[in-house]
């Protein structure tokens, strides 16, 4: 899931900058883009949804294990985030990023021109330059998301533990309040005490 989040995010963030540089003529004459970036916002929305799903999936195990202390849970999350080994995952993330970029640009071209424009137009720049820029975006995005998703996961664990603690306190307080109400409701006055006011004084009865 981390690879998917990073790939979609890197593709969505790098694409408009690469195309803007191409449209400005920084890479020489030639048509390298379709002069549209309408695919960026939907891609970022998908990346945000994947990121939320990733945080939920990482936070749930820490919340499910009630026997651990908060510090141990957060330490486990940090170790898991640090063990992602970006150098090992980088090729997979980069391939997924390029595949995401191809899908984004192809759908965008169909929406604009009615058909794919073909060639390497989906890269947004000359092939060597485009691959280098997207690889750089992949590396930077991976490093940033490793820390950002770890921080969001730790925050989610803290919020979840706080909400669960409040719910447990309220659940424990409701039966106690109910027992007190029942104890007050069951108190009755002794029958002799209710008849004491209706009897004549002893000296008149004599």
Q: Which two tokens stand for residue 62?
A: 């820490």
DSSP character at residue 201: P
**pLDDT tens per residue, range 35-67:** 888 889 999 999 999 999 999 888 887 776 554
Q: How far apart are CA 135 and CA 123, in angstroms?
A: 12
Neighbours of 12 (CB within 10 A): 26
Q: H/E/C letters for each residue in 140-198?
A: HHHHHHHHHHHHHHHHHHHHHHHHHHHHHHHHHHHHHHHHHHHHHHCCCCCHHHHHHHH
- Give residue-wise pLDDT tens across range 106-163: 999 998 888 888 888 899 899 999 999 999 999 999 999 988 988 898 888 888 777 8
| Rounded-to-integer distance, Cα 172 and Cα 177, Å | 9
Tell me the mean pLDDT in the region 80-102: 82
Q: Whole-model pTM?
A: 0.71
The secondary structure of 45-112, three-state, reads HHHHHHHHHHHHHHHHHHHHCCCCCHHHHHHHHHHHHHCCCHHHHHHHHHHHHHHHHHHHHHHHHHHH
Phi and psi at residue 36, in whole multiples of 5°?
A: -150, 145
Confirm if 13 and 133 have CB atoms less than 8 A apart: no
């Amino acid at each position: 899931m981390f690879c998917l989040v990073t790939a979609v995010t890197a593709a969505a963030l790098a694409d408009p900058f690469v195309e803007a540089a191409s449209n400005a003529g920084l890479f020489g004459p030639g048509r390298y883009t379709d002069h549209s970036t309408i695919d960026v916002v939907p891609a970022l929305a998908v990346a945000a949804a994947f990121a939320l799903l990733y945080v939920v999936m990482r936070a749930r195990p820490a919340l499910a294990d009630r026997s651990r202390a908060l510090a141990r849970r957060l330490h486990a999350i940090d170790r898991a985030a640090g063990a992602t080994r970006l150098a090992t995952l980088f090729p997979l993330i980069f391939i997924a990023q390029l595949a995401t970029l191809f899908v984004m640009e192809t759908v965008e071209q169909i929406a604009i021109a009615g058909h794919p424009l073909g060639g390497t137009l989906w890269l947004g720049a000359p092939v060597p330059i485009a691959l280098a820029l997207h690889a750089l975006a992949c590396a930077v995005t991976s490093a940033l998301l490793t820390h950002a998703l770890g921080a969001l996961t730790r925050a989610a664990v803290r919020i979840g533990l706080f909400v669960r603690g409040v719910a447990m306190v309220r659940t424990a307080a409701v039966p106690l309040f109910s027992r007190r109400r029942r104890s007050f409701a069951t108190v009755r006055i002794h029958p002799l005490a209710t008849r004491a006011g209706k009897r004549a004084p002893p000296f008149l009865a004599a």
